[in-house]
Amino acid sequence: MYDEYMAEKTSAVNISFRRDLLNQIDEVARTESRSRSELVREAARMYIERKRRMDSVIESIREAVRQRGITEEDVAAEVAAVRAERVQRRS
């Protein structure tokens, strides 16, 4: 029953890895008593979740920038000021 459910809900894909990366995947899978597929699925889920969180953070920052009226010139000026301060501290 489980096999039928999984077959219905999953799709097989072919993917190529450099040999050294595949060796690392296999090593981690072995130490965690997981299959290669389980490890790659978890890695994909984690990547997607992290990307969604980062996209959300970036959008929140963009919205705050819009609300405050900060321009690219404002950012460039602040970066230049910080860099100049660092150079001055080193001197």
pLDDT per residue as tens, the chain (91 positions): 555 556 578 889 999 999 999 999 999 999 999 999 999 999 999 999 999 999 999 999 999 999 999 999 999 999 999 999 999 998 8
Kindly give the residue spans of alpha helices, DSSP state H, lying in 1-91: 2-9, 19-31, 36-68, 72-90
Task: Please return the burial class of 65, using the count of CB atoms within 10 Å of its CB with bins 0-12, 13-18 and 19+.
Answer: middle
Q: Do 39 and 46 form a contact (C-beta atoms < 8 A)?
A: no
Phi/psi region, residue 38 (left: phi>0; alpha: psi -120 to 50; beta: rest), is alpha
Residues 6+ apart with CB under 8 A from 26: 36
Domain ranges of the chain: 2-90
